[in-house]
Amino acid sequence: MTTNHTLRYGSRTLALTATALGVVATAVPAAAGEQPTAEQIMADCASGEGKCSFNSPQLGKAYLGEPRQVSELLFNCTDSPASQSMSWADTVGSSHSVGGSVTVGGGIEGIITASVTATYNYTWQSSHTETSSFTVTVKPGEVGWISRAQVMRQISGTWQTHYDDPKWGHYYWFVPDTVTGPAPNGTDGKHSAVVVKSRKMTADEKKLCAGGSTQDKVFTRNR
């Protein structure tokens, strides 16, 4: 994850009548008297040390994420096509550009949810899980599996952190961020896809069919 992020900060007078803004790029942990990294600011948002809000959220267009394997592998060591019902499960989480994954139930998740709901009346979800079963048909000498692609959406906004006492020399810090997470099926006309895929066995996999309990049989293995 890239650690070179842009931070904007605000400073206020004792009378709270003026605010100075600036821009600073930082790629290393802050020492005394230095400016913080985006990760340090986000850690304070997550812990509650900083009073944070996610301002001016902008919803991006939904898109179909990259497909990934969600089932076991089905091997066909027989001489005929084989069909078998296979269960699958898929959990897709969220990530943001300045701090990795968004933890379900964490402080950051609640702030994003409140901001997006208030602005768009859109129910943002940091994680989505689906389970089902599908019939997989595999040709002789091939391996089959179930793959799934989730509808995704990005939300761009700016984190504002307020401290009761100045930290790193300022009361306010601003961190631009982009959150990527699962979107409801059908968002912007995009639909999650579940497909069966297959390929030829490798040389090592063919050896599994040559003897032992797997010879002339259909069997599954973990991903």
Long-range pairs, 184-190, Cβ under 8 A, ≥24: 184/123, 184/125, 184/151, 185/151, 186/151, 187/62, 187/151, 187/153, 188/61, 188/62, 189/62, 190/62, 190/63, 190/64, 190/151
Task: Give Dmax (Cα) for the chain.
Answer: 84
pLDDT at 9: 54
User: What string of pLDDT tens digits covers the 223 residues of the chain?
Assistant: 444 445 655 544 332 322 334 333 333 344 445 789 999 999 999 899 999 999 999 999 999 999 999 999 999 999 999 999 999 999 999 999 987 889 887 889 999 999 999 999 888 989 999 999 999 999 999 999 999 999 999 999 999 999 999 999 999 999 999 999 999 999 999 999 999 999 999 999 999 888 788 888 999 888 6
The whole-angstrom distance between residue 210's C-alpha and the CA centroid of its chain comes to: 41
- Measure CA of the first residue to CA of the last residue in the chain; give whole Å: 26
pTM, two decimal places: 0.80
pLDDT at 24: 30
Q: What is the pLDDT of residue 28?
A: 36
